[in-house]
Amino acid sequence: MSDTPRYRAIAGRELPHHPRLLHLPAPTRLAMAAVAEVLPFRVNEYVIDTLIDWERVPEDPIFQLVFPQPEMLSPEQRAPIEQALTLGASSDALAQLVQQTRAQLNPHPAGQLSHNVPNLESRRLDGIQHKYRETVLFFPRQGQTCHAYCSYCFRWPQFVGDADLRFASDEVEALVAYVRSRPDVTSVLITGGDPMIMKTSLLARYIEPLLEVPHLATIRIGTKALAFWPYRFTHDVDADQLLRLFERVGAAQKSLALMAHSSHPRELETQAAQAAIARIRSTGAVIRTQAPLIRRVNDDPTIWADKWRLEVQLGMVPYYMFVERDTGPRGYFEVPLAKAVQIYQEATRQVSGLARTARGPSMSATPGKVVVDGVAEIGGKRVFVLRFLQARRPDWVGRPFFAEYDPKATWLDQLRPAFGAPEHFYERELGQLLSAGGGFSEPILRRRALQLMGEVA
């Protein structure tokens, strides 16, 4: 690499001819290209040259993390797209095949598009999600891409060009007004995509107005840039401006938390990543790390233990081990819950208490974040012990409940209530809550937000 790194994205149409892949059989490259038509593919030279061990391809975990693999789609899904590519089908014909395949992949799990978007009177605030009382998510329109895409990403619809599947907003005033109307909101998470793809001047346009909201305590930014383009914080032309923006958050008596997606220790072992981490921490920002448990990438307790130890050594805070969401190529990546809890427990046994801040394995499901605390035997029956870490109703948080042990189950909706119960304790109330709009539509607060936006007297 040159002394001044230059970012260059590599996209799906380059797959069959990229020099790094020419040693793979032609049918494999064609299958990868077919998958890349359906699921988003984007990588850059830093990831290719620094993070991937090409002697281990295709088994290398970072290669699995970023490059499309043939088995991410079933042969029945893949074959017509491969044929269309081979025969040079028209763009319209190919797009129709791709759209049909995407519709089979559960584009928006956990009610993201239907249950999490708040309303102000009759106005739907697209680009904002409010699922948990204290936290609002905001999707800036200019931040809905990434320096590279994780092939497991549950937000893959953000990147495929279909406006009906994407949520994004550039309405700063609506965001601020909504947050002002909700004194119980203490945290805003700016997410995507990856907000770090934006220029600092754009990011500041969203962050600085939030600094004026008295009850807002924390601004979070979700990012994978530390892994996929750490030069964003060290060498990009506005890197210094970015760090000054971070400092302004602290100066406004707010906490800035960088929610870093850290899937494998290799991502944080590079000199570039560690220099970026040091610069971010020098601004007073806290870096918290999270990632899903992904088969073929990090489904090994030693990988997690090594990752958590390195993160603590670098001054980062391990935060979450997630369960792969029920969307996209989940069949390729998913790990049974029984194995997930075993990996989590074996990993935590290998580290000190400072690294045991990571919670998991956690499912971000429709009712909330459900952690599998373990497997127990009660009354002669094996059961999963479950608990809400976050929930649509705050009084569900921390309440334990039980499900029948199922060694094959990979998601909450596959778990049956234990001890003959007809349903999990939250299910009836959840149905009522979703029918009423998710619980964040109180008329008084809606009207207050509109007043702040100047739309009603």
Radius of gyration from C-alpha coordinates of the chain = 22
Selection from 110, 98, 123, 89 nearest residue 39 by Cα: 98
Predicted pLDDT at 115:
63
Preceding amide of 68 cis, omega within 30: no
Question: Residues of the chain whose pLDDT is less than 50?
Answer: 1-2, 110, 439, 441-457
Predicted pLDDT at 159:
67
CA 261 to CA 271: how far, in whole Å? 18
Residues 6+ apart with CB under 8 A from 249: 207, 211, 219, 255, 256, 285
Cβ neighbours of 420 (radius 10 Å) = 7
CA 53 to CA 61: how far, in whole Å? 9
> pLDDT digits over 14-35, tens only?
877 888 888 889 899 999 999 9
Cα four-point dihedral sign 356, 362, 364, 370:
negative
pTM metric for this prediction: 0.90
Predicted pLDDT at 283:
98
Tokens representing residue 440 in the block: 């964040």
Residues 6+ apart with CB under 8 A from 409: 336, 337, 338, 415
Predicted pLDDT at 5:
87
Selection from 287, 292, 291 nearest residue 314 by Cα: 287
Spell out the alpha helix ranges (H) of 148-300.
172-181, 200-210, 225-228, 239-251, 271-282
3-state secondary structure of 135: strand
Selection from 142, 147, 139, 158 nearest residue 11 by Cα: 147
Contact predicate 290/259, CB 8 Å = yes
3-state secondary structure of 246: helix
Selection from 38, 50, 51, 48 nearest residue 12 by Cα: 38
With b for 16 or more beta-carbon neighbours within 10 A and e for fewer, the 294-314 pattern comes to bbbbbbebebbbbbbbbbbeb
Distance of alpha carbon 119 from the chain centroid: 24
Spell out the alpha helix ranges (H) of 39-119.
45-46, 61-66, 75-87, 91-102
Quick one: DSSP state of residue 13?
G
Using CB atoms within 10 A of its CB, is residue 395 exposed (0-12), middle (13-18) or buried (19+)? exposed
Q: Can you give the residue ranges of every domain in the chain?
A: 9-105
Contact predicate 423/413, CB 8 Å = no
Predicted pLDDT at 396:
96
Pairing of strands 187-190, 218-223: parallel
Predicted pLDDT at 205:
95
